[in-house]
Amino acid sequence: MNTLVQTRLAERDKTVNWHPYTQMKTAGNAIPIVKGKGIYLYDDEGKKYIDAVSSWWVTLHGHAHPYIAERVFQQLTTLEQVIFAGFTHEPAVQLSENLLNLLPENQKKVFYSDNGSTAVEAALKMCIQYAYNSGKEKTKILAFKNAYHGDTFGAMSVSGRSAWTKPFGSMLFEVVFIDTPNAENLENLKVQIRDLAEDIACFIYEPLAQGAAGMLMYKAEHLDELMKFCRSEEILMIQDEVFTGFGRTGKLFAANHLTEMPDIMCFSKGLTGGTMPMGITTCTQEIFNAFLSEDQYKTLFHGHSFTANPLACTAALASMELLLQEETLTAIDRICAQHSGFTEILMQHPDVKNVRQTGTILAFEYKTDQNTSYFNEIGKVFYNEFLQRGIIMRPLGNVMYLVPPYCITSEELDFIYLNILEVLETLIDFTPSNNVLSLKTEK
Ligand SMILES: *Cc1c(COP(=O)(O)O)cnc(C)c1O
């Protein structure tokens, strides 16, 4: 294929498509991708890119995995969709059984939806209606300042206020935002919560790693203590594992790093191995029981047309099978170890700060005088440079991060590390005053 074809597809795309999180006026042409295989994506000129961010953190086992494809195809020719009110099917039952087996033992029921945001919406509704059904009125929700829980209105409300939520500010519901816990502030956080505890319906949090905020990380022991306190204050806990679930943190779930158990958990992203959109909200028996009644008004009136779509359930079943294979678990361990070795190297680097790692997630910040917001131009500079080198990284402002598919080999990972060091060493001398990128050493 030639450049003309590529230009044409990009032009056609521009004519009809509105891309997510993209300022369409200044954005360059979207790159047409024609094929995916393993960690690679191929554009229509045959150039291949390593998908170092797992296509927005969803692809676990690489692209177009033949086993998942085969299972989905079988399902597609058997039962592609059925209304999930009044009906059920094997993939949904099996998936719920398999998932619950892996979760903290207090998780007893599975509620299906379509993506991470809707998994969060369902969780919030469960908590608010839990209070309502119990004859209490609880109107406040507790969340972390830099939280990100999705882009629908409820999910936006419990996300940190930012450029992303600004136009909708007055329409978002009331949320009490606290800092993420550390050894110093924990006691203070408890005081803040205790004062409001009676009105708080639930506490929602991303465990261990706050993804969209810029891969911010905090310790399991501090979250455990915060959870213990919320439990004692009878505040329901929603653990949003949309990003951290399915091996990202080095263990199957962030929950496996914790001793405390949440009341509700949310999943999406890696759930289907990145092949199909699906969300899951799980909850305790106690929450489920609060909706059991002769009174119809106590029903959870929530659902989506594609709730528990059999194809997505099958993709999730196949992906979870792959995830639990010895080979994959070993690969996750290897990535964690390799990341931690590279972390040591990055920490010595003069242009880098705040190097951090949680399992397969590695992040660091480029030192810059510019504001360190999402809009920091340096992110775009890095993005384009890595693209040229055939690596898809998508910095959040000055935060660079890696979230690779688990099938990445140790050589491929080294190749990415090497390129990061090269880019840092030879290329970047970013002058904030004139937004000019110059070469430190001419290439
Ligand atoms: C991505 C994300 C969401 C939203 O999921 P979508 O599928 O994009 O709606 C929610 N919570 C967390 C922690 C996420 O990372």
- At 391 the three-state DSSP class reads strand
- The residue nearest atom 7 of ligand 1, judged by CA position, is 116
pTM above 0.85, yes or no: yes
Tell me the pLDDT tens digit for each residue of 128-177.
999 999 999 998 999 999 999 999 999 999 999 999 999 999 999 989 99
pLDDT of residue 443: 35
pLDDT of residue 6: 55
CA angle in degrees (0–180, nearest 5) for 97-243-263: 55
Position 377 confidence tier, pLDDT thresholds 50, 70, 90: confident
Position 113 confidence tier, pLDDT thresholds 50, 70, 90: very high
Q: Is 251 a catalytic residue?
A: no
The CA-based diameter of the chain, rounded to the nearest angstrom, is: 76
Tell me the pLDDT tens digit for each residue of 181-205.
999 999 999 999 999 999 999 999 9
Q: Is 21 a catalytic residue?
A: yes
As separate numbers, helices (DSSP H) first and strands (DSSP E) second, the chain gives 13, 18
pLDDT of residue 437 exceeding 60, the answer is no
Beta bridge partners of 175: 141
- The residue nearest atom 11 of ligand 1, judged by CA position, is 149
Ligand 1 atom showing the smallest separation from residue 56 Cα: 1
Q: How far is the CA of 149 from the centre of ligand 1 (A)?
A: 5
**DSSP class per residue in 35-91:** EEEBTEEEETTS-EEEETTHHHHT-SS-BT-HHHHHHHHHHHTT-----SSS---HH
Report the Cα–Cα distance between both ends of the chain, in Å, rounded.
30
pLDDT of residue 8: 85
Domain boundaries of the chain, sorted by first residue? 31-64+326-442, 67-323
Q: How far is the CA of 402 from the centre of ligand 1 (A)?
A: 17
Q: Is 269 a catalytic residue?
A: yes
Residues in contact with ligand 1 (CB, 6 Å cut-off): 115-117, 120, 148-150, 206, 211-212, 240, 242-243, 268-269
Tell me the pLDDT tens digit for each residue of 65-88.
999 999 999 999 999 999 999 999
Ligand 1 atom showing the smallest separation from residue 277 Cα: 7
> Six-digit token pair at 329?
């678990």
pLDDT of residue 52 exceeding 50, the answer is yes
Tell me the pLDDT tens digit for each residue of 252-269.
999 999 999 999 999 999
Tell me how crowded residue 67 is: count the other CB atoms within 10 A of its CB.
Answer: 13
Tell me the pLDDT tens digit for each residue of 318-351.
999 999 999 999 999 999 999 999 999 999 999 9
pLDDT of residue 431 exceeding 80, the answer is no
Same topology, domains 31-64+326-442 and 67-323? Answer is no
Residues with Cβ within 8 Å of residue 41, at least 6 apart in sequence: 33, 35, 48, 49, 51, 55, 63, 392
- At 352 the three-state DSSP class reads strand
pLDDT of residue 3: 59
Pick the CATH number of 31-64+326-442 from 3.30.420.10, 3.40.50.2000, 3.90.1150.10, 3.90.79.10: 3.90.1150.10
Query: Which residue in the list 148, 205, 401, 417 is annotated as catalytic?
Result: 148
- The answer as to CATH 3.40.50.10190 being correct for domain 67-323 is no
Q: Is 148 a catalytic residue?
A: yes
Ligand 1 atom showing the smallest separation from residue 115 Cα: 7
Beta bridge partners of 111: 281
